[in-house]
Amino acid sequence: MVQQYEFKTKGLPYLLVLPQMVIVFVFFFWPSLQGLWQSFFLQDPFGGRLLFVGLDNYTRLFTDPSYGYGESFRISIAFAAAVTLLAMSIALFLATQANKKIRFASFYKTMMIWPYAVATMVAGVLWLFMFNPNVGVIAWFLKHRLGIEWQHLLNTGQAFLLVTLAASWKQISYNFVFFLAGLQSVPNDLIEAAAIDGAGPARRFWKIVFPLLSPTTFYLLVMNLVYGFFETFPIIHQVTAGGPGKSTSILVYKVWRDGVINLDLGGSSAQSVILMVMVMALTVVQFRFIERRVHY
Partner 1 sequence: MKKRNLVAIAAVATIASTMFFASCQKKEEAPTGPVTIEFWHAMTGKNGDMVKNLADKFNASQQNYIVNPVYKGSYSDTMNAGIAAFRANAAPAIIQVYEVGTATMMSAKGAIKPVYQLMKEAGQKFDPKIYIPTITSYYSTSKGEMLSLPFNSSTSVMYYNKDAFRKAGLDPEKPPVTWPEFFDVAKKLKASGMEGGFSTNWISWIQLENFSAWHNQPFGTKSNGFDGLDTELEFNTPLTLKHFETIYKLSQDKVFLYGGRENKANPLFSSGQVGMHFESIGGYANFKNTCKFEFGVARLPYYPEVSGAPQNSIIGGASLWVFSGKSKEENKAVASFFSFLSLPETQAYWHQNTGYLPITTAAYELTKSQGFYNTNPGPEVAIKQLLNKAPTKSSMGIRFGNFNIIREIEDQTWEDILAGKVSVKDGLDRMVREGNAKLREFEQLNK
Using CB under 8 A as the criterion, which residues of the chain lie in contact with partner 1 when the complex forms? Answer: 9, 11-12, 15, 18-19, 22, 42-49, 51, 64, 66, 132-135, 151, 153-156, 241, 243-246, 257-258, 260-264
**What's the min distance (Å) between Cβ of 279 and partner 1?**
24
CA distance linking residue 79 with residue 91, whole number of Å: 18
Q: Which residues pair with 251 in a beta bridge?
A: none
Give the residue with the Cβ less far from partner 1, 32 or 97.
32
Burial grade of 69 (CB within 10 A; 0-12, 13-18, 19 or more): buried
**What's the min distance (Å) between Cβ of 58 and partner 1?**
15
**What's the min distance (Å) between Cβ of 180 and partner 1?**
40
Give the residue with the Cβ less far from partner 1, 132 or 286.
132
Give the residue with the Cβ less far from partner 1, 37 or 93.
37
Give the residue with the Cβ less far from partner 1, 241 or 280.
241
**What's the min distance (Å) between Cβ of 260 and partner 1?**
6
Give the residue with the Cβ less far from partner 1, 117 or 146.
146
**What's the min distance (Å) between Cβ of 169 and partner 1?**
22
Q: Which amino acid is at 239?
A: V
